Amino acid sequence: MKTRILSFVLILGITAFNITGCGGGGNGSSSGESAGGDDISAGWDSPLMMHVVDDVSQANWEQTVRQLSGAEPVQLNGEPVYITSRDAHTPGSAQAAAYLRGRLESMGFAVTSQPFSCEDVISENLLVRLPGSGGNSSRVVLGAHYDSTNDEDYWDSPGANDNASGAAAVLEAARVLNGHRFTHPIDIVFFGAEEVDFCGAYAYVDDAQASGAVIIGAIILDMIGSYNANYQLTIEGEEEYRGWMGYAAEAISRYSNLDAAQTFESSDSDHVVFQQNGIPAYLLLTSDFDDSYYHTTDDTAAHIQSDFGYQATRAAVGAAAQSALIIE
């Protein structure tokens, strides 16, 4: 995540949202497409939904954070490798992409690489798609950036919170949601080079729009593993996307032990790129996070709050499944 300024924050009750449809216009649905029509999806408290969110593993999430941030080695080409930096200017970014690709392929996914060049870096996005029913092309995006940075030395950039925590959540979501059926496809995206002016997100959105794809909305995870004394997760979006953000508020309430907060001014992560293109999008991140380790060599797994990241992952999985109208 790039340097950020948080705006007005409101503590949320779930009754503050109308979750019968997603707000916003532009490329996204203005009429609540993800919850309209003949809805045969599973309800929020259905046995299916409870099975899905209860399948989220805290141990999996924590191990992925540790491996992406260099606390534990990863296996690349049969050799143990410590990823000491995922900055897009370093080989560690490609190592992280190779690690994520391997994990996704081990789950049975066919992984699409979306290479791009931007400013002074060459990077790639990784994409897997959970299919929707009946050839439905209107998709939901669940994503996180996998690169990191250190403002003083990008060669030493563990980035455990920023953003191994978000990437680990999306990887766990891919595992949990794999094999289920949805009304709308879910694009699970690992963005490269977020720390270089959101290059990966721009590449993904540009390609999606060029292909004529309709993105119902995007759910972006960034910095969900840092300590927060109030156990509070922020939903960062814009006023016109209140309906879309409501899925997150409902999921936080039902599937986690966290409190929800909302801010109506977006900045400094990949969700902004979607919003700039008229696509409903929000960011999930720790409220009032401890930023003393932010963009430093001390953003390590030792400073991660595992239970918070696990609870946030449960909420993100629930929000994605309901937004895409899970069927079975």
d(CA 270, CA 77): 31
H helical segments located in 218-305: 242-255, 271-276
What pLDDT was estimated at residue 132? 93
Report the amino acid identity of residue 283. Answer: L
What pLDDT was estimated at residue 12? 43
Domain assignment present for 230: yes
Domain assignment present for 25: yes
This prediction's pTM: 0.89
Domain assignment present for 3: no
What pLDDT was estimated at residue 27? 54
Q: How many domains are contained in the chain?
A: 1
Domain assignment present for 112: yes
Point out the residues of the chain with pLDDT beneath 70. Answer: 1-40, 134-136, 289-290
What pLDDT was estimated at residue 291? 73
Domain assignment present for 287: yes
What pLDDT was estimated at residue 200? 94
What pLDDT was estimated at residue 247? 97
Secondary structure class of 264 (helix, strand, coil): coil
The range of the structural domain enclosing residue 260 comes to: 9-323
Q: Which helix (H) or strand (E) holds 270?
A: none
Domain assignment present for 15: yes
Domain assignment present for 4: no
| Residue from 287, 64, 249, 262 nearest 163 by CA | 64
What pLDDT was estimated at residue 40? 66
Tens-digit pLDDT profile for residues 187-211 = 999 999 988 888 999 999 999 999 9
What pLDDT was estimated at residue 228? 78
**Contact call for residues 104 and 128 (beta carbons, < 8 A):** yes
E strand intervals along the chain:
9-11, 74-76, 79-81, 112-118, 121-130, 138-145, 186-191, 214-221, 232-236, 259-263, 281-286
What pLDDT was estimated at residue 274? 96
Domain assignment present for 328: no
Question: What CATH number should be reported for the domain holding residue 316?
Answer: 3.40.630.10
